[in-house]
Chain A
Amino acid sequence: EAGVTQSPTHLIKTRGQQVTLRCSPISGHTSVYWYQQALGLGLQFLLWYDEGEERNRGNFPPRFSGRQFPNYSSELNVNALELEDSALYLCASSRGLNYEQYFGPGTRLTVT
C-alpha cells in the first residue's frame, strides 16, 4: 500500500510570493489534514478536509487556504508569503473521523 505522498519535497520562495503544496492520501482515506511544523515547535494544525469539504481550520490567517479534490488529493495554498512561513508542512490522511493519521514526508518551505 502506497503511503501519503507530498510534492515538492523542498521549495524556496521569496517574501510576498504564493506557493501551492500538494498531497495524495493513502488509497481509501477520505480525510486529509495539513500541519505546519516551524523550527523548534510542535505540529500546528492548519486545515482538515473530509469528502471534499473543509471541516475545520486552525488558528492561521486566511492567506492559508486549500482544497480537496474528488480523488481526495489536496492542495495547500499560501499567499503573500512571510518569512515566518518557513517551516515543514506535513500532510496526513486517515480513513475518517477519529482514525489514526498517516503522515507524508513533508514539504520543506523556505521563505527568503
Chain B
Amino acid sequence: DQQVKQNSPSLSVQEGRISILNCDYTNSMFDYFLWYKKYPAEGPTFLISISSIKDKNEDGRFTVFLNKSAKHLSLHIVPSQPGDSAVYFCAASAVGNQFYFGTGTSLTVIP
C-alpha cells in the first residue's frame, strides 16, 4: 500500500520558470514531511521539510506548501535552473514511525 504518492513520474520546465512537484498522502497521522533531491548514482540529498503545524516553508528558491485537508504537499522551485534536473522524492512520517517515500518525479530543466 503506497501511502505517499507522486503521480507525475516526470516533469519538464524551461530554465527560469517555476517547477511545481506534487505529492499526495493517505495517512492523516502523518505530521512531518520532507523533500529530497537525487542525482543518478548518488544518495538522496535533503532539501526542505515542513511540519503539520505550518502550511508553508521557504528556503531560498525552494518553497514547500502543505494542504492538510487535501493531504497534499507541493514543492515549488523558482527560478528553475539546469542544475535542478534530478529526481525529487517526497517523504512523510507520523510521530514514532519511519518515513514513507514516494516513487519520485524526474525533473528536467531545459536551458
- Point out residues on A near B: beta carbons under 8 Å: 4, 33, 35, 41-43, 45, 48, 55-56, 90, 92, 97-98, 100-106, 108
Contacts and interface: CB of A to CB of B under 8 A. Distances in A.
B94 to A, nearest CB: 9
Given A41-B103, A42-B103, A104 B43 contact: yes
Nearest to A9: B41
Prevailing SS type, chain B contact patch? loop
Contacts of B102: 42
Interface string B8-33: 00000000000000000000000010
Contacts of B91: 101
Contact of A98 (B42, B44, B95): B95
A17 B91 CA distance: 33
B32 A105 contact: no
Nearest to B9: A40
Given A4-B43, A43-B89, A45-B99, A98 B32 contact: yes
Nearest to B5: A42
B97 interface: yes
B80 interface: no
B42 A105 contact: yes
Contacts of B93: 98
A96 B9 CA distance: 31
Contacts of A92: 43-44
B96 interface: yes
A103 B101 contact: no
Contact of B95 (A41, A48, A97): A97
Contact of A100 (B41, B46, B98, B103): B46
Contacts of A42: 6, 89, 101-104
